[in-house]
Amino acid sequence: MSVPRLVIAAPASGSGKTTVTAGLMAAFAERGLDVSPHKVGPDYIDPGYHALAISSAASSAGRARTARPGRNLDAFLCGPERIAPLFLHGAAGCDLALVEGVMGLFDGAAGQGELASTAQVAKVLRAPVVLVVDASSQSRSVAALVHGFASWDPGVRVAGVILNKVGSDRHEAMLREALQGCGVPVFGALRRARAVRAPSRHLGLVPVAERHAEAVDSVAALAARVREGCDLDGLLALARSAPPLSGPVWDPAEEIRRAAEPVPGAGDRAAPRARPVVAVAGGAAFTFSYAEHTELLTAAGARVVPFDPLRDERLPEGTGGLVIGGGFPEVYAPELSANEPLRAAVAGLAASGAPIAAECAGLLYLARSLDGEPMCGVLAAEARMSERLTLGYREAVAVSDTALAAAGTRVRGHEFHRTAIEPGAGPEPAWGVVRPERRTEGFAQGDVHASYLHVHWASVPGVAARFVGRCAPWAG
């Protein structure tokens, strides 16, 4: 399949990958191109800015278009073998796919070589790499830096540079002169600009859902900077030079079909009596989710209905299962607590035995309290903000049978939070973490599965089939 594509990488975190990538997406969308956004690694926040950049730019240009969802490409969570199929699924039919990297170009899972690095994804996708370089504190040395990155791994095609945080015309001229003999062309130079910086807090950028109007303005400013400072025609030609990708395209229906071995309580998926309603938490407090989760739930036979725990006082009509993903409930604890009718509805659903899958933010929401504010009280646990950031990949095995996973199911996931919950595991834990340390984690309580661990269901599609099957008694 022929998909024009670029990977936007950097020598290190903080170089400006997200702002440059979002600006490029907006600028190309303004031109009328159908842009497919992707992000290397597990991060949930950057894909939100990608999707906003594309949709708002297309709208401002008078082209009504529903933006493609931002999709993650994480070789640790999903396996290197799924990167190209997931990419081809998300990018099918697009005019241009842009893949934002993670950390520095060659940084990946700790102690595991190139696994989960931007470089590995670029090689799997056979995609040209454009290196975003923070040039704010260098001039001629930029040539040595770019030469080193371009020659480090012959399998990675570093095909261009965008100079970011350039101080002046003279500074830009010095940088371009230094790079002339490097063999890597310069596709743009962007000046320092405070107006387009996205605000950050304890887990990185503030999600788009919490600052939509400001984010739209920032994206418009980014698009203007990129139009003025980058060679868009040259970048598009470079993207079109990427060779065709062969191999299968990820298909949620096919994944569910393969994973649909009979499991206890799964019901008859061949002839379901009705489609169970699976309510999925969203809104400003619960912004972390992977697009493939909803696709897998739908393919497994569910009718997925979003709701906002900050605004909605009832669960969606006919709810037979509940998925509460990640986000920032700690920022909205008073507002979530004040919505007593919904907290009672969630507690009642859990008491009825209906399946509930909660991860990270969902775990906190199901606790008795969060920073002293009453939550749903499904779990006998208290949650609070912590000074310690917990961040990293994990390997785990399901300890108990729940609606989400049968005991013994092995998964790869990641943790990303600055909160703590006491106790850290229930009498029946959800997971036994086996790497990087050994411990039990989370809560398996009836058909409630609650944990800090984020898992990408594309790597274990059977969990979606199992979950929807366990919702069958509540269908209709």
DSSP string, 348-410: HHHHHT--EEEETHHHHHHSSEETTEE----SS-EEEEEEEEEEEEEEEEE-S--SS--TT-E
What are the angstrom distances between the C-alpha of 9 and each of 71, 97, 163, 424, 425?
A: 16, 14, 12, 37, 38
- The strand pairing partners of 189, in sequence order, are 163
CA distance 22 to 25: 5
CB atoms within 10 A of CB 17: 28
Rounded Cα distance, 20 and 218, in Å: 12
Largest CA distance in the chain: 71
Query: Which is catalytic among the residues 78, 182, 230, 360?
Result: 360
- CA separation for the pair 83, 126 (Å, rounded): 11
Taking the C-alpha atoms of residue 312 and residue 348, their distance in angstroms, rounded to an integer, is 16
Report how far residue 377's alpha carbon sits from residue 20's, in angstroms, rounded to the nearest whole number: 43
Q: How far apart are CA 146 and CA 260, in angstroms?
A: 49
DSSP strand E in 101-235: where?
A: 129-134, 158-166, 186-191, 200-201, 204-205
Amino acid at 219: V
The per-residue b/e assignment along 106-129, b for 16 or more CB within 10 angstroms, e otherwise, is bbbbeeeebebbbbbbbbbbebbb
Closest CA to 327 of 364, 294, 375, 377: 364
In the sheet with 96-100, reading across from the earlier edge strand, the strands are 71-73, 35-40, 96-100, 5-9, 129-134, 158-166, 186-191
Backbone angles phi, psi at 412, to 5 degrees: -115, 135
Q: Which residues pair with 140 in a beta bridge?
A: none
360 is catalytic: yes
Residue 338 main-chain phi, psi, to 5 deg: -65, -20
Closest CA to 173 of 159, 160, 158, 186: 186
d(CA 296, CA 426): 28
Rounded Cα–Cα distance for residues 14 and 23 (Å): 16
| Residue appearing with tokens 């903000």 | 385
Active site (catalytic) residues: 360
